[in-house]
Amino acid sequence: MKKTAIIVVAVTFLAGCAISENVVPVDSDKTIEKVYVRYSDDVHMEGLNDELVSQFRSLGFDAELYRGDTPDAAQHTFIFTANWAWDLAMYLTYFHGTLYEEGRMLGEAEYDARSGGSNFGKFGPTASKIKPLLTEMMQKVQRR
């Protein structure tokens, strides 16, 4: 009985240490030339705005950061939020980004380490947490 209780507690503890990644990929019939990334000043990592532009470019898309109103030429926009927390070091706890085509959602990417607990996978560069999600979200998209 004592052994069973220890196993139940261990499994419950480990289950509470999950990091989840969810992606809704953009359909393969989409062709995208340029992604406009809306600037967010509500993020801890100041360089994240430029990092997202860089990541879209590395995936083969032209990308531009914008502030304020959506540019008239923006057919495809990416809007995101991100949060960090402290646990021995600062780490990304949550990221959610949505790609829109003229206001209609095409795809989204989410990284959630809010229940990361003692999972050391939550540490590491923010860019390395987001890049695989954007890659998966955009993998089927045709580039112009």
What mean pLDDT, rounded, does the chain reach?
81
- Residues of the domain holding 132: 18-143
Q: Does 88 reside within a domain?
A: yes
Q: How many domains does the chain have?
A: 1
| pLDDT for the residue numbered 115 | 67
Q: Does 6 reside within a domain?
A: no
Is the pLDDT reported for residue 10 higher than 90? no
Residue 112's pLDDT band, with cuts at 50, 70 and 90, is confident
| pLDDT for the residue numbered 128 | 76
Q: Does 38 reside within a domain?
A: yes
Mean pLDDT value of segment 33-51: 88
- Per residue in 53-90, pLDDT (tens digit) is 999 999 999 999 999 999 999 999 999 998 767 677 66
Q: Does 4 reside within a domain?
A: no
Residue 116's pLDDT band, with cuts at 50, 70 and 90, is low
Q: Does 111 reside within a domain?
A: yes
Q: Does 10 reside within a domain?
A: no
Residue 8's pLDDT band, with cuts at 50, 70 and 90, is very low
Q: Does 9 reside within a domain?
A: no
By CB neighbour count within 10 A (0-12 exposed, 13-18 middle, 19+ buried), where does 135 fall? middle
Q: Does 1 reside within a domain?
A: no
